[in-house]
């Protein structure tokens, strides 16, 4: 070993002046550890180096988990704010026609969906002028339609909120947007004793906006507020 420095004097002086720069650079530290292992020969097992590699791998996984948790928290907060703004906008209306108009415009924009429709089951026949006028956002169907639509004909309990991807042939409820909707949220509505149920459908052109793997807490809250608002109008 020679005592004569083989490193550029400028680089050497900088390292000596601030050695922590090397310690904070993972690539440089890996290179130094690898050089040390090579100098010891292939027949020597460096347990300290193995332990360091395992600790680095654990740290990387911990950092990834940390970033995922933070991202999920921000996403949940953003979703909560969206739903709260939509609820406040929905409560502004003083007339039912205004309520429906706001639902299909400002509320839909706030929730970042491409189409919102309110579906009501009714045993009455014939078209009401008010329903025809608001047909873009309001639709009436025969009793039992909602459970069949949500469960796609299967005999299973209907959840209050169902998230799923759909094809254009299954998107007939979305009127002028039927050819473009690729995912939907179905919110089943209970209007109280003696009344047939309803359903609020939120449609998106993004096939990944609503999927079964997503949480439904915020939309369950939104459905509960919407039910109470509708009970007021129905009474």
pLDDT tens for the chain, 235 residues: list them: 455 556 677 877 887 887 777 777 777 777 776 776 666 655 555 556 666 777 778 887 888 787 877 766 767 777 788 899 999 999 998 998 899 999 999 999 999 999 999 999 988 765 555 555 676 888 889 999 999 999 987 888 889 999 999 988 777 889 888 889 999 999 999 998 889 999 999 999 999 999 999 889 999 999 999 999 999 888 7
Buried b (16+ CB within 10 A) or exposed e, 24-53: eeeeeeeeeeeeeeeeeeeeeeeeeeeeee
* Residue 177 DSSP symbol: G
- Specify the CATH number of the domain 82-234: 3.30.450.40
- CA distances to 36, 83, 195 from 104, rounded to whole Å, are 68, 15, 24
Continuous segment of H or E residues that includes residue 188 = strand 183-189
Rounded distance between C-alpha atoms, residue 53 and residue 47, angstroms: 10
Residue 153: strand, helix, or coil:
coil
- Tell me the Cα Rg of the chain: 30
- Locate the domains of the chain by residue range: 9-61, 82-234
Contact criterion met (CB below 8 Å) for 209 and 113: yes
- CA distances to 163, 185, 192, 204 from 213, rounded to whole Å, are 8, 12, 30, 16
Rounded distance between C-alpha atoms, residue 175 and residue 177, angstroms: 5
Q: What is the pLDDT of residue 1?
A: 47
Q: Which long-range contacts (CB under 8 A, 24 or more apart) does 73-81 make?
A: 79/218, 80/218
């Amino acid at each position: 070993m020679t005592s004569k420095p083989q490193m550029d004097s400028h680089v050497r002086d900088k390292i000596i002046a601030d050695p922590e720069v090397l310690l904070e650079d993972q690539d440089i530290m890996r290179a130094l550890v690898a050089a040390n292992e090579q100098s010891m020969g292939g027949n020597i097992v460096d347990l300290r180096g193995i332990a360091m590699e395992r600790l680095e791998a654990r740290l990387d996984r911990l950092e990834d988990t940390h970033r995922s948790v933070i991202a999920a928290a921000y996403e949940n907060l953003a979703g909560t704010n969206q739903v709260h703004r939509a609820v406040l906008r929905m409560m502004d209306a003083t007339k039912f026609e205004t309520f429906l108009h706001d639902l299909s415009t400002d509320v839909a924009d706030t929730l970042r969906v491409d189409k919102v429709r309110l579906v009501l089951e009714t045993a009455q026949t014939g078209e009401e002028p008010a329903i025809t006028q608001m047909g873009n956002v309001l639709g009436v169907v025969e009793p039992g339609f909602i459970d069949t639509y949500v469960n796609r004909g299967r005999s299973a309990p209907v959840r209050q909120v169902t998230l799923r991807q759909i094809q254009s042939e299954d998107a007939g409820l979305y009127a002028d947007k039927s050819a473009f909707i690729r995912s939907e949220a179905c919110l089943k509505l209970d209007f109280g004793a003696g009344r047939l149920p309803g359903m609020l459908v939120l449609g998106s052109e993004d096939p990944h906006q609503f999927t079964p793997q997503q949480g439904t807490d915020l939309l369950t809250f939104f459905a509960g507020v919407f039910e109470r608002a509708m009970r007021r109008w129905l009474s």
